[in-house]
Amino acid sequence: MENITLGDLSSNIVWLVAFIGGILAILTYSKSMLNKVIANPILAKLDKNKKDLESQIRSIKNELTIVGQDQCKNYLVRFFADVENGEKLSEVEIERAYDAYEKYTKTYKGNSYIHDKWEKLMRKENKND
H/E segment holding residue 38? none
63-79 per-position pLDDT tens digit: 999 999 999 999 999 99
Q: In the Cβ-directed half-sphere of 35, how many Cα atoms lie within 13 Å?
A: 6
Report if residue 61 sits inside a domain.
yes
Rg (CA), the chain: 38
pLDDT of residue 44: 87
Look at residue 29 and tell me if it is in a domain: yes
Q: According to the model, what pLDDT value does residue 9 have?
A: 86
* CA neighbours closer than 13 Å in the CB half-sphere of residue 95: 3
pLDDT for the residue numbered 129: 59
What global pTM score does this model have? Answer: 0.59
Question: Which whole-number Å values give the CA distances from 116 to 74, 100, 125, in the listed order?
Answer: 15, 15, 14
Task: Please report whether residue 20 resides in a domain.
Answer: yes
Total tally of structural domains belonging to the chain: 1
The residue segments making up the domain with residue 56 are 6-128
Instruction: Supply the DSSP string of 85-114, one letter for each residue.
Output: TT----HHHHHHHHHHHHIIIIIS---SHH
pLDDT at residue number 18: 94
Task: Give a yes or no: residue 89 inside a domain.
Answer: yes
In a domain, 1, yes or no: no
Residue 27: inside a domain, yes or no? yes
Write out residues in the chain with pLDDT < 70, as ranges. Answer: 1, 126, 128-129
